Each structure stands twice: as structure tokens, then as C-alpha cells.
């Protein structure tokens, strides 16, 4: 009888241990070397697609896997390359992959080959079920009311309407602008500035708000965004609005007074930012995908350093309903 009880106890202990391992989510970081501004899209069937900036700034690549860790060694495919001359000929930055109304769209930044800092937002589309297959069509530029330096467009749906947030020249830096969309490639306005650099952590070397990423939770719309130069000063802030409020009223948006995720020497995380959000394989755990370097000192200009790597980490939610990015925890 005693042996039987011991056996049952051992079995129960093993089950508890196995459940603990099953619930622990770990990632083999980095999940992609030399891939910045990462965006991961998870389909309804559970396939993950990773799209990101390559250090040559000359093409758009996608990889897919059945798990986030699987993206690390997944085959990568170039689905579009920059033009040799004219529009979309330089600075191919921050592509995002979206499934909208039965079609894939990629929003990305690009400049003319002859004027490389005249960066604007452009779009591609593809009706194929798999974005790594089929033909990508150039949809042209996303036209904004003011034609000025603009990049990092993201799109989301809220209360039956589709919106776009992007970064654009505002005063002496770049701010975040929100607009309703008429179609996946057309803005209908108004275009509302919901954030611009005002705190010191947003104005290190450059005055920057960029890289918006939307996550809706607990009745609120949260927008994580990146600030300052893309060296070790790069960091993330947080905006939020109540989901029942008019999100096209700038007064309804609130900003964290300090960064929510930033350089941490102890865990070798330098200049984290330009994130996206996805969901883990369990279908419920929120995951942040972002880039960072594992060293601080950079030779030359930070945009010439190729070693921003894509990483994944779990984010937690605190009792107040806000995300906890766990600044003091490594990946």
C-alpha cells in the first residue's frame, strides 16, 4: 500500500513538473540576426510570418514557420527589390505585413534613388493565400495631407473602422499621426497628431517618435512607439486611449512620462525598440517582437551598423490593465 502511494505521489509530481514546463514560454533569442524593425504576423491557422528591415536597405524579405522559435532557421525569401532609379530606389525600411479584406498588404518606407532622404510610405498587395507565393503588386504611395518625411506605417481595426498610424515630420522631429482609412491604401482623414517628442528620453541626439505598434486589451488601445536615435539611446514609450472614446481626438490619448523599455547593460540589451505584437503558440500569451543590439559602442553612424537583431519576449499585464514590459528581465 505504501509503495502504491509513493508511486501515485511520484506520478503527480511529474505531471506538475511537466505542466510547469509546458506553461513556460522561452525563445531562442535572437530569432533573426541582422533584422531590424521586425513585424510578426500570426495567421488564424497558426503560421507565423516575419518581415523586417535588412541592413542593406535594398529589398523586402519574408520567412515563415509554425512557431516563433521556428522563424530562427526558416528559409527566407526576397519578395520585392528596390528600383534602380526613381521612386522606391533607396532606404527600404520597416516593412509590415497585414491581411486585410482577403488580401495581403505590405506597408514600407522608401525614398527616390536620387534623393535618399525624401522618405515616404508605400504599399504592395498580393491576393495569394501565402504571402511568400504569388505576385506582389505595387500599389503606389500612401498619400498624406502634408508631403514630408514619413515612415513606419501600421494599420489596425477598431469598432468596425480601419486606421493607420505613422511617423512624420512634425516641427523639429517626427511625431505620430493617426487617420481613418477609406481603403487599405487610402487615407480619409482627419490626420491627427497623437504624440510628438516632448520629454528628454524622446530627444536624445534626434527628436523622434516612430515605429508605432498597436495592441488592444482591457478596454484600451495601447500604442508602443520608439524614440530617440537608433543607438543605445533608442527606447520605447507607451500611448493609450480608452476604446470607447473618440480616438481621432488627440486629447483622448495619454503618454507614459518615462520610457517603458530601454537599454539594460546587465542583460546586454542596447537600444531596444521598433516592436510589434503577436500571440504565442498557446493562442493567449502576448508576445513582443523587437530589435536590439547586444553591445553599446558603435563604430560610425548607427544606421550603418548591421547588428540590430530580432528578439521575442513575453509581456505581462498588471492589475490596472496596463502592459508590463519587464525592463529588468532578460529575454
Residue 161 domain-assigned (yes or no): yes
Has residue 2 been placed in a domain? Answer: no
Q: 17 lies in a domain? A: no
The CATH code of the domain that includes 204 is: 2.115.10.20
Domain with 41 in it: 36-324
**pLDDT tens sequence across 221-234:** 999 999 999 999 99
Q: Exposure string (b/e) for 212-225, b if CB count within 10 Å is 16 or more?
A: bbbbebeebbbbbb
Residue 119 has pLDDT above 50, yes or no: yes
| Structural domains counted in the chain | 1
Instruction: Give the residue-averaged pLDDT of 252-268.
Output: 98
pLDDT per position as a tens digit, 41-94: 999 999 999 999 999 999 999 999 999 999 999 999 999 999 999 999 999 999
3 grid coordinates: 509503495
All three cell numbers of 184, joined, read 487599405
Residue 13 has pLDDT above 80, yes or no: no
Looking at the annotation, which residues are catalytic? 37, 210
Whether residue 20 has pLDDT greater than 60: no
Q: 88 — phi, psi (to 5°)? A: 60, 35
Segments of 75-149 assigned E as strands: 76-81, 90-100, 103-111, 120-126, 137-141
Residue 23 counted as domain residue: no
Q: Looking at the domain assignment, is residue 50 inside a domain?
A: yes
**142 is a domain residue:** yes
* pLDDT > 70: percent of the chain: 93
pLDDT confidence band for 14 (50 / 70 / 90): very low
**DSSP H/E element including 274:** strand 270-279
**CB neighbour list of residue 320: distance below 8 Å, 6 or more residues apart:** none
Report yes or no on 14 lying in a domain. Answer: no
Model pLDDT, residue 5: 53
User: Considering only CA atoms, which of 91, 98, 94, 113 is closest in space to residue 43?
Assistant: 98
Q: Annotate 307-324 with DSSP letters as a single string.
A: --EEEEEE-EE-TTS-EE
Residue 54 is assigned to a structural domain of this protein = yes
| Residue pLDDT, tens place only, 262-275 | 999 999 999 999 99
What's the CA gap between 123 and 139, in Å, rounded? 5
Task: Identify the pLDDT of residue 15.
Answer: 43
Amino acid at each position: 500500500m505504501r509503495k502504491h502511494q509513493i508511486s501515485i505521489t511520484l506520478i503527480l509530481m511529474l505531471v506538475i513538473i511537466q505542466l510547469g514546463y509546458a506553461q513556460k514560454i522561452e525563445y531562442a533569442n535572437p530569432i533573426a540576426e541582422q533584422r531590424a524593425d521586425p513585424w510578426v504576423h500570426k495567421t488564424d491557422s497558426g503560421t507565423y510570418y516575419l518581415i523586417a528591415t535588412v541592413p542593406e536597405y535594398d529589398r523586402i524579405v519574408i520567412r515563415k514557420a509554425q512557431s516563433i522559435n521556428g522563424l530562427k532557421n526558416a528559409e527566407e525569401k526576397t519578395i520585392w527589390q528596390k528600383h534602380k532609379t526613381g521612386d522606391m530606389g533607396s532606404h527600404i525600411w520597416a516593412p509590415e505585413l497585414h491581411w486585410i479584406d482577403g488580401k495581403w498588404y505590405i506597408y514600407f518606407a522608401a525614398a527616390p534613388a536620387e534623393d535618399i532622404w525624401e522618405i515616404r510610405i508605400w504599399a504592395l498587395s498580393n491576393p495569394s493565400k501565402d504571402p511568400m507565393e504569388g505576385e506582389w503588386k505595387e500599389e503606389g504611395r500612401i498619400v498624406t495631407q502634408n508631403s514630408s518625411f514619413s515612415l513606419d506605417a501600421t494599420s489596425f481595426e477598431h469598432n468596425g473602422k480601419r486606421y493607420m498610424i505613422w511617423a512624420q515630420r512634425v516641427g523639429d522631429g517626427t511625431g505620430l499621426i493617426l487617420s481613418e482609412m477609406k481603403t487599405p491604401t487610402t487615407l480619409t482623414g482627419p490626420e491627427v497628431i497623437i504624440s510628438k517628442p516632448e520629454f528628454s528620453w524622446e530627444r536624445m541626439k534626434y527628436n523622434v517618435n516612430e515605429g508605432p505598434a498597436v495592441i488592444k486589451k482591457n478596454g484600451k488601445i495601447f500604442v508602443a512607439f520608439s524614440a530617440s536615435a537608433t543607438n543605445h539611446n533608442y527606447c520605447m514609450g507607451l500611448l493609450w486611449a480608452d476604446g470607447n472614446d473618440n480616438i481621432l481626438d488627440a486629447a483622448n490619448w495619454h503618454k507614459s512620462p518615462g520610457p517603458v523599455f530601454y537599454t539594460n547593460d546587465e542583460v546586454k540589451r542596447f537600444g531596444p525598440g521598433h516592436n510589434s505584437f503577436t500571440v504565442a503558440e498557446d493562442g493567449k500569451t502576448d508576445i513582443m517582437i523587437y530589435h536590439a543590439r547586444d553591445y553599446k559602442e558603435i563604430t560610425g553612424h548607427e544606421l550603418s551598423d548591421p547588428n540590430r537583431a530580432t528578439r521575442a519576449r513575453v509581456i505581462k499585464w498588471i492589475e490596472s490593465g496596463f502592459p508590463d514590459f519587464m525592463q529588468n528581465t532578460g529575454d
